[in-house]
Chain A
Amino acid sequence: MASLEVDLVATDGKVWTGTARQLIAPAGDGEIGILAGHTPVLTILREGEIRVYPEGGGPVERWHVEGGFLSFDDNRATIVVDAVSRTASASSAH
């Protein structure tokens, strides 16, 4: 299955980087879900939760962010956030 590269970047450094099969982020007008092969998109994020489903299963990575933006092209997602904190990674329900 195709996968996407995800970089989560905060002002003072990289927070997380890895491959994922799906990414869900709180875009300006509703949550945006990104799978591999999505069209290039540049969207602002509002406060909310980012969920990254790592490739090959494993627990879902969750972060609470306070706004930022997301750019996706060529199966590479860069999430740039102002402030980020990891929310308790609940057991992967998906």
Chain B
Amino acid sequence: MAGLQRVYKQRIKSTQALKKMFRAQELIAASRIGRARDRVAKAAPYSRAITRAVSAVATHSNVTHPFLVERTDTKRVAVLVIASDRGMAGAYSASVIRETERLVERLEREGKQVALYVSGRRAVSFYTFRGRDIEGSWSGHSDAPSTEVAGEIAEAILDAYRAPADEGGVAEVHVVYTQFVNMVTQRPRVIRLLPLEIVEGVAPADDAETLPLYEFEPEPAVVLDALLPRYVRSRIYASLLQAAASELAARQRAMHTATENAEDLIRMYTRLANQARQGEITQEISEIVSGADALAS
């Protein structure tokens, strides 16, 4: 009986230690999420300006640019997955990966060949463990992405997009990331980045606003050449920032639930331990009483 009490005490202790860790993770995520949302908001003016400019060039000039037309010379398509570096965020990484798998399956059904670009250690290990080929991977920045990382990713993807078909060129670029809707809702999303669909911008297309008739300097094609890589970089950066905010929100929620579950467990084990203690005392009393009875008779 005494053994049982000791087992329960031990469980209470270890659950308490876990609870402390969950609580700390929850607080860390909560303190970082404000900053992550701030960064999302701060990056918005840039992407809005660039989206507007790209739309202006694309609508007011008759340039055909490789970024705007569908490539037909290759069946390869690139998919960029943005997941987290660490776990303890509930189903965050799992749902991004599930969404990716669904997209890959759809693309493969269409007869396309998928080249994976992966950001975030969880997704990297998911694909390396399954022995899938990864074209490029980035990790160590998922909860606070920098513009440099976004630049690197954009560079790699643009290189692949510009490359000829026999050197691993890709015809399309898709991005899977988690959109931060609010603190309780984060939604995995798939966007097609290239070739561009100008209409679906970061800023919602405003019908009332007509774009002015710009003069382009030096000339539309050159302006577009300079704009599009920046546009791609800014879209990738925006996706990374959204994903970071979503990751932190998911982690905060998951850790909050974990803390509550730990409390429930502690309560349950405390009751069991008390029961065991009482049972032990009752047994001892009955042993003493029956021993005394035996002597008296």
Residues of A in contact with B (beta carbons under 8 Å apart): 7, 9-14, 27-29, 32, 39-44, 67-69, 71, 73-74, 78, 80, 82
Contacts and interface: CB of A to CB of B under 8 A. Distances in A.
A13 to B, nearest CB: 4
A9 B49 CA distance: 8
The B contact surface, by secondary structure, is helix
Contact of B57 (A10, A40, A42, A78): A42
Contacts of B56: 42, 71
28 contacts: A9-B46, A10-B46, A11-B234, A11-B237, A12-B43, A12-B147, A13-B42, A13-B45, A13-B46, A28-B218, A29-B217, A29-B218, A40-B212, A40-B214, A41-B216, A42-B53, A42-B215, A42-B216, A42-B223, A43-B217, A44-B218, A44-B227, A67-B226, A69-B226, A71-B52, A73-B214, A80-B50, A82-B230
Contact of B53 (A11, A71, A82): A71
A40 B211 CA distance: 10
Contacts, number: 81
Contacts of A13: 42-43, 45-46
- Sort A-B residue pairs by CB-CB distance and give the 10 closest, nearest first: A13-B42, A43-B217, A73-B212, A40-B212, A42-B214, A44-B226, A11-B147, A40-B214, A41-B215, A9-B45
Contacts of B289: none
Contact of A39 (B45, B215, B234): B215
A29 B216 CA distance: 12
Interface in B197-220: 212-218
A28 B215 CA distance: 14
Contacts of B277: none
Nearest to B225: A44
B4 interface: no
Q: How large is the interface on B (under 10, 10 to 19, 20 to 34, 35 or more residues)?
A: 20 to 34
B222 interface: yes
A9 B56 CA distance: 18
A9 B230 CA distance: 13
Interface of B: 39, 42-43, 45-46, 49-50, 52-53, 56-57, 147, 212-218, 222-223, 226-227, 230, 233-234, 237
Contacts of B216: 41-43
B224 to A, nearest CB: 10
Contacts of B57: 42
Contacts of A67: 226
Task: Indicate the member of B213, B217, B227 with the most A CB atoms within 10 Å.
Answer: B217
B213 A40 contact: yes
A28 B46 contact: no
A80 B46 contact: yes
B42 A44 contact: no
A74 B212 contact: yes
A69 B53 contact: yes
A80 B49 contact: yes
Given A11-B233, A42-B217, 14 more contacts: A9-B49, A11-B234, A12-B39, A12-B147, A13-B45, A13-B46, A29-B217, A39-B215, A43-B216, A71-B53, A74-B212, A78-B53, A80-B46, A80-B49
Contacts of A82: 230
A27 B215 CA distance: 13
